Amino acid sequence: MNLNVFIYKSSSKLIKVFMRIFENFLVFILFKGNNVKFKKVSSSGIPYVMVANGGSFFIGENFNMHNGIKGNPIGCYSKCTFFVDKGGVLTIGNNVGVSQTAIICHKQISIGNDVKIGGGVKIYDTDFHSLDPIIRASKEDMIHKVLAPVIIKDKVFVGAYSIILKGVTIGENSIIGAGSVVTKSIPKNELWAGNPAKFIRSL
């Protein structure tokens, strides 16, 4: 190996080790400051976390997340976003991995054990705004938004850049193909993909 390459690779590896330690320390402070109940967390990069007063965020064992490109070079540069509104409950189980994922919880989002969530995935349990154009143009807009729980069961794999919308339940072991928009519930042991997501085959 070329000496310059060796020096560069060795230096980069040391820097990555120190940065990972520092980033995990900052994540610990960030979670504690937002009253997140968590156990073992490993992170590359720093997420955005906002838990409103009256909101709850629980994370199980061995939670692994990648923020930005360096942890998971899939082409998505976003950091993870976790937002829990007043009265919302976000629960993430054991052995869950997420990359550059946005989870916006106004009511309830529950993610089971051994779930993998790919780069750039968005999960929303609300429409954010009223579907009525007259209400949407008024000051009453936000109080008329529709909320419905999202439940992702054990061993689900959600492909990169997918969007999971309000009221959806994804059954155990099911897979969501990359770039899908999931608007309705999916049974266990099935592969769905597309916009809107449709049944592809049983697993």
**Amino acid (one-letter) located at 101:** T
What is the extent of the structural domain holding 189? 3-202
- The active-site residue, picked from 66, 106, 129, 144, is 129
66 among known catalytic residues: no
pLDDT tens, position by position, for the chain (203 residues)? 676 666 667 777 777 777 788 899 999 999 999 999 998 999 999 999 999 999 999 999 999 999 988 878 888 889 999 999 999 999 999 999 999 999 999 999 999 999 999 999 999 999 999 888 999 999 888 888 899 999 999 999 999 999 999 999 999 999 999 999 999 999 999 999 999 999 999 99
**Amino acid (one-letter) located at 29:** I
Rounded to 5 degrees, what are φ and ψ at 32? -60, -40
Distance (Å, rounded) from C-alpha 83 to C-alpha 149?
15
Complete DSSP assignment for 119-175: TT-EEESB-SS-SSHHHHTSTTTGGG--B--EEE-TT-EE-TT-EE-TT-EE-TT-E
Whether the CB-CB separation of 51 and 81 falls below 8 Å is answered with no
Tell me what pLDDT residue 1 has. 62
Whether the CB-CB separation of 109 and 90 falls below 8 Å is answered with yes
Tell me what pLDDT residue 65 has. 96
> How many distinct structural domains can be found in the chain?
1
pTM: 0.90
DSSP state of 113: S
Whether the CB-CB separation of 185 and 169 falls below 8 Å is answered with yes
Nearest Cα neighbor of 158 from 116, 189, 203 is 116
Residue 78 is part of a domain; what is its CATH number? 2.160.10.10
Tell me what pLDDT residue 130 has. 87
